[in-house]
Amino acid sequence: MIQKVIKSDEEWRQILTPEQYRVTRTKGTERPFSGEYCEVHDPGLYACVCCDTDLFESTNKFESGTGWPSFTAPIDPERIRLEEDFTYGMHRVEVLCNVCDAHLGHVFNDGPPPTGMRYCLNSVALVLKRAADQE
């Protein structure tokens, strides 16, 4: 069962950088090819920057050429939530952290096998827990 993390807007502003807050709490997007993890391939786990929930494994990360870190699947589908997004005159599927409701990015069905999915996420919404740091 998911234990929700609930904080006030002011609490989020105190623990996040302005860019992290803009992306995760107001559904922003970082510029393509500008994110810290766009071209990183270190082994480890990608966690939500807001609540530290492990969301994606580095083994599921791939180069999508889009300018954002992309993954084929989450660690556990229960850790994320998908919602329809009709902003900017488009129909997309938003990816949110199911623990703290942080906006992470969007998911598309044009990814590689075996899932065919591309979870296209903002680096600023993630923190990489490198495997070397965990040893």
Has 38 been annotated as catalytic? no
Select which of 50, 51, 100, 120 is catalytic: 120
Give the contacts of 84 (CB within 8 A, at least 6 positions apart): 91, 92, 93, 94
Q: Per the structure block, which two tokens stand in for 91?
A: 């129909």
Q: Which strands make up the sheet holding 118-121, listed edge to edge?
A: 61-62, 70-71, 118-121, 103-108, 92-97, 80-85
Q: Per the structure block, which two tokens stand in for 103?
A: 């906006």
The 8-class DSSP code of residue 55 comes to E
Looking at the annotation, which residues are catalytic?
A: 120
